[in-house]
Chain A
Amino acid sequence: MNVLITGVSKGLGLKLTEVLLNNGCTVYGISRSLSPELERLITEFGSNLKWLRYDLSDTNNLKTEVFKHWIGLGTPIHAFVNNAALAYDDVITNMNLDALENMYAVNVFSPLMMTKLVIRQMLLHKIKGSIVHISSISVHTGYKGLSMYASTKGALEAFSKNTAREWGALGIRSNCVVAGFMETEMSSTLSEDQKNRIYQRTSLKQQVDVESVANTISFLLSDESRSITGQNIHVDCGTI
């Protein structure tokens, strides 16, 4: 199974890449930078992990650079995980349009265009593929400073549900994994006190385990989840 993943250099994307490689998948991974951890995976898994340096704020060149030149139209894509994201955190009254537009390019516009290109490639190869978008608990529970970021993830949840309806007739599935707060770089700007207060709001009173999120994504990509589409699967330690 060929899986296209964005944001593979660190955090959830890196863990997911490792999980899928260990499951025997071939991973086409995209990130802006090459981390030492990713380099180790490339050394260990060789040609099963293909990596491209690409900045997703460049929405215009996705088709040519990623799909035509790198993956190639002749290569079937069985699954797509839209994981890369920017977190632009601030209170609404400080909102900066350039920062907002950049975050929307990376979190929304590029993922939407990539979904278009992935579905086209699935059609060409007659693949009943699986698409997973990584959403955030901030869509469902408010947090101070996360309104702009949460709005990008809310857009993805709406897009995913409609993707599921539009392409379900051809067996193409789309789901969101709604992740709670994990100990990754994405949440590194939060203070210990802020993190503890967030964790106390969960049923399990702890941070979300990155590997648990990665395993849930892996399940949604697999045939085991063949009857699941158009859903938001919360992996958030019970933030209810």
Chain B
Amino acid sequence: MENKILEIVNTVLENRGKKAIRKINPSMSLRNDLDMDSLDLAELTVRIEAEFDIDIFEDGIVNTVGEIYAKLNIK
């Protein structure tokens, strides 16, 4: 499951011409550590919803990788 999130993050980064990352951890900030802007985050949420059928931004802002896991109930 976490590998899937890594794969989705890298799809978004690569679509924007940004460098793919090799590892993610829950404390990483989407904006500061993964260098995502609001349009990147929009694509991220769409791709996560397509995979897991959960809209992570529906009821508030998500800032870190750990908060994505929490929304998806990944322990």
**Which positions in A face B, CB cutoff 8 Å?**
73, 119-121, 123-124, 126, 167, 169-170
Question: Cβ of A73: which chain B residues have Cβ within 8 Å of it?
Answer: 50
Residues of chain B whose beta carbon lies under 8 Å from any beta carbon of chain A: 15, 39, 42-43, 46-47, 49-50
Assembly CA distance A124 to B47 (angstroms)? 6
List chain A residues, Cβ under 8 A from B50: 73, 124
Q: How far is the CB of A168 from the nearest CB of chain B, in Å?
A: 10
Bound complex: CA of A167 vs CA of B46, how far in Å? 15
- Are the C-beta atoms of B39 and A124 separated by less than 8 Å? no
A123 to B42, CA, bound (A): 8
Contacts of A120 in B (CB 8 A): 42, 46, 49
Q: Judging by beta carbons under 8 Å apart, are A170 and B39 in contact?
A: yes
Q: A121–B47 Cα gap in the complex (Å)? A: 10
B15 touches A126 (CB 8 A): yes
**CA A123 – CA B15 in complex, angstroms?**
10
Q: Are A124 and B46 in contact (CB under 8 A)?
A: yes
Across the interface, name the chain B residue whose C-beta is closest to A74: B50
Residue of A nearest to B12 (CB): A123
Residue pairs across A and B with Cβ atoms less than 8 A apart, 18 shown, are A73-B50, A119-B42, A120-B42, A120-B46, A120-B49, A121-B46, A123-B42, A123-B43, A123-B46, A123-B47, A124-B43, A124-B46, A124-B47, A124-B50, A126-B15, A167-B39, A169-B39, A170-B39
In whole angstroms, what is the CA distance A170 to B49 when docked? 20
Query: How far, in Å, is A46 (CB) from chain B's closest CB?
Result: 29
How distant is B37 from chain A, measured CB to nearest CB, in Å? 9
Residues of B within 8 A of A119 (CB): 42
B15: chain A residues within 8 A (beta carbon): 126
* Residues from chain A with Cβ under 8 Å of B39 in the complex: 167, 169-170
A73–B42 CA distance with the chains assembled, in angstroms = 16
Tell me the complex Cα distance, A126–B43, Å: 9
The residue on A at minimum CB distance from B11 is: A126
A119 vs B42: C-alpha distance when bound (angstroms): 10
* Bound: A230/B64 CA distance, A: 34
Closest A residue, CB atoms, query B38: A166
Q: Which 4 A-B pairs have the closest CB atoms?
A: A123-B43, A120-B46, A123-B46, A124-B46
| Minimal beta-carbon separation of A118 from chain B (angstroms) | 12
Complexed CA–CA distance, A222 and B1 (Å)? 40
